[in-house]
Amino acid sequence: MRELISRRTFLIAAAATSVFLPRDARAAPLIIGSEDYPPYAYNFRGGRKGYDVEKVTRVLDELKYRPVQRSMMRAALFKGLEEDVVDVAFPFTETPLRLQKYIVAGPLHNNRAVLAMRKDEAKEPITLESIAGLRVAVTERHRYPIAFESLTNITRVSCSSLNLAVRRLSYGRVDAVIGDRTAMEAMVQVEGLENKIHVSPQSLGSGTAYCLFPKSHVALAAAFNDTMKRLAAAGRFKDLETRFPSVDPPK
């Protein structure tokens, strides 16, 4: 299946069904793309679920849009933003290049970079010194703490997703993985790898995840930011924090 479907396809489908909707439900469809990144975004019973998915959906519902949620690989998300066929993509950290190419809005959640290793080789504390000379899986186009980015004594193994990186660790194709602690712990659990992989609690640095909008969506991004702030102030995301207790919400 193609990663990207043209906006025209979605608009035709929406037009075919909109006549059966009440007037206040006739909202413009928006294509929302996200990686499989539990507990922030994942597939569940034929739909997209997760802390970020539900947070973004609430904001867009408040703006009277109909979000069309899609699971997409990281490369396809960036391509879709650049070709204006993806309206919102998440979750991504802020980088100088992304600020230049896209509109950054949010924030969605805080993250903490840690290392994971196979249990038979892990010895706490797992620090940057622990991975000297090792093969470390990294996710394409991901921003890591400066101390890690500056390392010259490791072999970086690029992966298309954090999920793939975790699987490669379980197969023994890499010696360690760097990633968000909450996401890696969820992936280890989902894949049934609790007895094989150890996710270290030792933080290497923290950051914040945001939504990305195409440069053409200035008004939408501004409305999204304003509405998210208003809903947060009204406590409209508190239930998500209860349902997803491992997520660190923005302060």
Q: What is the domain partition of the chain in residue ranges?
A: 7-109+209-243, 111-206
Mean pLDDT of 122-131: 97
Q: Which of 113, 121, 105 is nearest to 139 (CA)?
A: 113
Residue 250 burial (10 A CB sphere; 0-12, 13-18, 19+):
middle
pLDDT digits (tens, 9 = 90+) for 200-243: 999 999 999 999 999 999 999 999 999 999 999 999 999 999 99
Domains 7-109+209-243 and 111-206 share a fold: yes
Greater pLDDT, 247 or 142 = 247
Quote the CA–CA distance of 62 and 191 in Å, as a whole number. Answer: 35
CB 178, CB 130: distance < 8 Å: no
Superfamily of domain 111-206: Periplasmic binding protein-like II (3.40.190.10)
Write down the pTM of the prediction.
Answer: 0.85
- For residue 9, the number of C-alpha atoms closer than 13 Å in the C-beta half-sphere is 8
- Whether the per-residue pLDDT at 26 is higher than 70: the answer is no
Residue 59: pLDDT over 80? yes
CATH superfamily placement of domain 7-109+209-243:
Periplasmic binding protein-like II (3.40.190.10)
* pLDDT range class, residue 62, cuts 50, 70, 90: very high
